[in-house]
Structure 1
Amino acid sequence: MQLCDAIHNKLLEKNRESQLIYNTMEHSKGLCSQIVKSQKETVTLEAKWIEVRKRRMELKETCTKVLAELRAMKESENNFFAQMDDGKIRKINKYIAKEIDIVTVIQNVFQRLILGSSVNWAEDPKLKEIVLKLGQNPASS
């Protein structure tokens, strides 16, 4: 108390020492304001950081769930194909190969009809597109 009273009396004197004390107090007050401001910013940033960590954990949990679902789907797909007997698979593959052969023959016939006619298919954009599409392998498209 005595110290505060002595500083108060010194400030009232209005001399060089009182001015230095006043400037020091103002500087201290400014520093305290900056500290309080920095502490508030720190609290705000920490809250944001905690929120980001929570969202990151939620995303990690979501990714884990999705990966588990994908694994389950893959296993069920593998089980489905394992349950299918080889006879069905061979039959399906045979049917697909037969259809590809038929489409290839039809493509070749149309391509030869266009090329065999005296039409300049290279100048007609629609015919050019058709001829180029007919030249593609049906198994790859």
Structure 2
Amino acid sequence: MSFGLEASSIPLREESSLVFFFLFFFFFFFLVMESSDSQGKLNHMVETMEPNDVPAAEGATGQKDTSPVDMLRIKQQMSNQCFEMAVQLNAEKNKRSCSTSEAERDLPEYIGELERVKTLHFNSTLTLHRMQMWHAIGEKLNWSDSEADALKAISDRCMGLCSHIKHLQQESKKLQDEVTEIQKNRLEMKRLTHEKIKHMEESSKKEYPDMEKYKAALEKGQANLEKYKKMAIMTQNVLRGILLACKVNWLDDPKLRDIAMTLEEFPISE
């Protein structure tokens, strides 16, 4: 970050030097103009005070006629230089603003790279510490003392727990696979059920060309069935009345018993 500050301070110094140079030229131009005005006034006073000395006045006037042209030329050069300095100053400002915008645009990328390097360094340090710890534990296990025996017991217990955890994870994975398979079958059955229901609804809504004819035949058959059913009920009642009126023991006669048993199969009308 310090390099960026030093780099950004260079355009500021150039800008201050250009401003100082610009002000110095304006101040010099102002002094030259003031001196030219004062010299013109003196010449005018000399011309009014010495009217008889015509050659000398004409010579002085000839010299002073050339000086305004030079002054105008110097003024034009200074205006051109000031314009060039203004253009250069604006260019430096635009360059500095572009550099600032580019730095602001690239700042998230640099921050992300810095975070990545920090994370990599942390992970590497953590891995190194783990390796050092396991190396120290391995060296300690090679000893033959109470601490080494305790570490061996803890290590064996950890290995047993790890094996048990691995076995439980395998069983859990197996059960999860079974649950997933059952869910797939359930979804498949649900899909088939919806398809069957949809097919039944479409079949029920579908109109066949001979449906009206079959419906009329069915109504006619139901009417004939009701008619013959009433006739059978009436016949049954008549036969039952005859048997009761004759006071015949129909159980003794096999034919009458068959007829009576057959009559019992029909419902008795109210």
Normalised TM-score (structure 2) = 0.40
How many residue pairs align between the two structures? 133
SS in 2 for 1:133: coil
Q: How does 1:56-135 map to 2 (within 5 A)?
A: 56-76=186-206, 83-84=212-213, 88=217, 91-115=220-244, 116-119=246-249, 121=251, 130=262, 132-134=264-266
Q: AA paired with 1:19? A: D
SS at match of 1:107: helix
What SS does structure 1 have at the residue aligned with 2:265?
helix
For 1:114 and 1:63, how far apart are their aligned partners in 2? 59
2:226 alignment partner AA: A
Shift of 1:102: 2.1
Deviations 1:13-62 (A, max 9, x none): 22211111111111211121122112211211111111111100111011
The aligned runs of 1:24-63 (5 Å cut-off) are 24-63=154-193
- In structure 1, C-alpha distance between the alignment counterparts of 2:240 and 2:156, rounded to whole Å: 94
Tell me, which stretches of 5 or more residues in structure 2 are unaligned?
1-130, 252-256
**Which 10-residue stretch deviates more, 27-36 or 71-80?**
71-80
Instruction: Say if 2:237 and 2:268, in contact at 8 Å, map to a contact too.
Output: no
Q: Give the greater-gyration-radius structure (CA).
A: 2
Partner of 1:20: 150
Identical aligned residues as a percent: 20
1:87 Cα offset (Å)? 6.0
In the superposition, relative to structure 1, how do residues 78 and 129 fare at CA in structure 2: closer, same or farther (>3 Å)?
A: farther
**In structure 2, the residue corresponding to 1:13 is in which secondary structure?**
coil
**CA drift at 1:8:** 2.7
Q: Tell me, in whole angstroms, the C-alpha distance in 2 between the residues paired with 1:95 and 1:18.
A: 104
Q: What is the TM-score of this pair, normalised by structure 1?
A: 0.69
More helix by proportion, 1 or 2? Answer: 2
Q: Contact between 2:236 and 2:263, CA under 8 Å: does it hold in 1?
A: no
What amino acid is aligned across from residue 49 of structure 1 in structure 2? V
Q: Residues of 2 paired with 1:90 and 1:64: CA distance?
A: 34
Q: Relative to structure 1, is the Cα distance of residues 85 and 18 closer, same or farther in structure 2, using a 3 angstrom cutoff?
A: closer
1:104, 1:65 → 2: CA distance? 48
Q: Provide closer, same or farther for how the CA distance between residues 42 and 129 of structure 1 changes in structure 2, counting only shifts above 3 A.
A: farther
CA distance in 2, matches of 1:117, 1:73: 59
Q: What amino acid sits opposite 2:190 in the alignment? A: K
Cα RMSD over matched residues?
3.4
